[in-house]
Structure 1
Amino acid sequence: MAKQEIDPIVQIALVVDDIEKYIDAYTEVFGIERPAWRLTDTKDVTHARYLGRETEARAKLAFIKAGNLSIELIEPVGEPSVWATALKQNGPGVHHIAFRYKDKKPVLDALGLPITQTGDFKGGNYTYLDARGKLGVDIEILENPDM
C-alpha cells in the first residue's frame, strides 16, 4: 500500500456491559456533566449488517466530549453485532478508534481490511474494519458527505 497520511482520530470507543455504570464512572472521575445515552435506531433505519447479514442488534450509546474527539460508550442490545462479540470475547474495554471522511470508498480500498459491520445514521454511515489482529484495535470509518 502506498504511504498515506492518517486523518485525525475523531473517536475512541469502549464496549461496556452497563452504560449507566460507566457514565457514572466517567462523570465521577473526570468531573464532567453527565451525558445522556440514546438507543440506536432500528434496522429499518440503520440497515445494519453484521458479517454481511442483516441484524436487528442495537446499542445504547453515550458520547463524552474530550477536546477534538469523543469517547463513545457502547452497550450492546441484542445480537449479533461487533459490539456484542467484542464484549463476549474481551469484556468491557476499548473497541475501536474512528476516523471521519467525506468519501470512505478510497480509504476502505487502501486499507484492505475485512469489513465486519456496516450501518446508516442520520447524516452518514459507518463501517467497522477487523484490524484487531494487525493493530490491536478495530477501526471505524465514518462517512459524512456533508461534513
Structure 2
Amino acid sequence: MTASVEQAVAQNPGKLGDNVVVHIALVVRDINKSAKAYADLFGVEVPKISVTDPLEKTRLQFRGEPTQALAKLAFLRLENITIELVEPVGGPSTWREFLEMKGEGVHHIAFRVKGMEENIALLEKQGGKLIQKGDFIGGSYAYVDLTRQLGVIVELLTSANKK
C-alpha cells in the first residue's frame, strides 16, 4: 500500500465513499425469465438486457488473472433502489462461482466511491479480499469479498473522472 493510500484510509476510517447504495445485485441462471418475473412482481417494464464488453475493453480480472467472462445484465429501477440481475456467461468469474456454489441469490451491494484504490484498501483493512475488477464504459468496478464479515460481497463503482 502506498503512503497516499494509507493516509486516505487513516483520514477516513470506516466510511465507504459517500455511503450511497447504487444497487443490489442478484445472480440468476436465466436473466430473461428472472427479468420478467421481477418486472411482474414490481409492476414495471421488463428491463433491457445487455451484455458486458469483452476482456479487451474491460481488462477484467478474476482472482488476479485475466478472464474472458461476460455477464448479461438487466437493471430494474424502482423508486428507491435499483436491482441488478446478472447472468454469468463465458469464463471464470465471481458471478459464475457464486451461482455454482450458492445458486441464485443476492451477490453484492454496490456503492459509489471516489478513489478506487483507497476504498479497496479500506475494505482489505477490514478483512475483505479483492476478487474481481474491471472497467466499463464511464468507469471501473471492484468486488471485495466481505461475506465472512457482512454476509455479502461489496462492489465499488467509480466514474471515469472520479478514479
Q: TM-score, normalised by structure 2?
A: 0.85
* Residue equivalent to 1:18: 30
* Residue equivalent to 1:28: 40
Residue 63 of structure 1, aligned match among 75, 81, 87: 75
Q: Tell me, in whole angstroms, the C-alpha distance in 2 between the residues paired with 1:67 and 1:141.
A: 22
Q: Tell me, in whole angstroms, the C-alpha distance in 2 between the residues paired with 1:64 and 1:146.
A: 26
Residue 92 of structure 2, aligned match among 80, 87, 92: 80
> 8 Å contact 1:103–1:144 — kept in the other structure?
no
Q: Tell me, in whole angstroms, the C-alpha distance in 2 between the residues paired with 1:138 and 1:4.
A: 16
Alpha-carbon shift at residue 94 of structure 1 (Å) = 0.2
* Residue equivalent to 2:146: 131
Structure 2 letter corresponding to 1:115: L
- Structure possessing the higher radius of gyration over alpha carbons: 2
Q: Does 1:96 align with 2:119?
A: no
Alignment gaps of 5+ in structure 1: none
What is the CA RMSD across the aligned residues, in angstroms? Answer: 1.5
Runs of 4+ in 1 over 6 A off after TM superposition: none
Q: Does 1:4 align with 2:6?
A: no
Q: Which has more helix, going by share of residues?
A: 2
Q: Give the total of aligned pairs.
A: 147
Secondary structure of the residue aligned to 1:139 is strand
> 8 Å contact 1:15–1:73 — kept in the other structure?
yes
Distance 1:145 1:69, change over 3 A: farther
> 8 Å contact 2:116–2:158 — kept in the other structure?
yes
Identity among equivalent positions (%) equals: 44
> 8 Å contact 1:10–1:98 — kept in the other structure?
yes
Alignment gaps of 5+ in structure 2: 1-8
> 8 Å contact 1:103–1:145 — kept in the other structure?
no
Secondary structure of the residue aligned to 2:161 is coil
Distance 1:63 1:129, change over 3 A: same
Q: Tell me, in whole angstroms, the C-alpha distance in 1 between the residues paired with 2:57 and 2:44.
A: 32
Alpha-carbon shift at residue 79 of structure 1 (Å) = 2.1
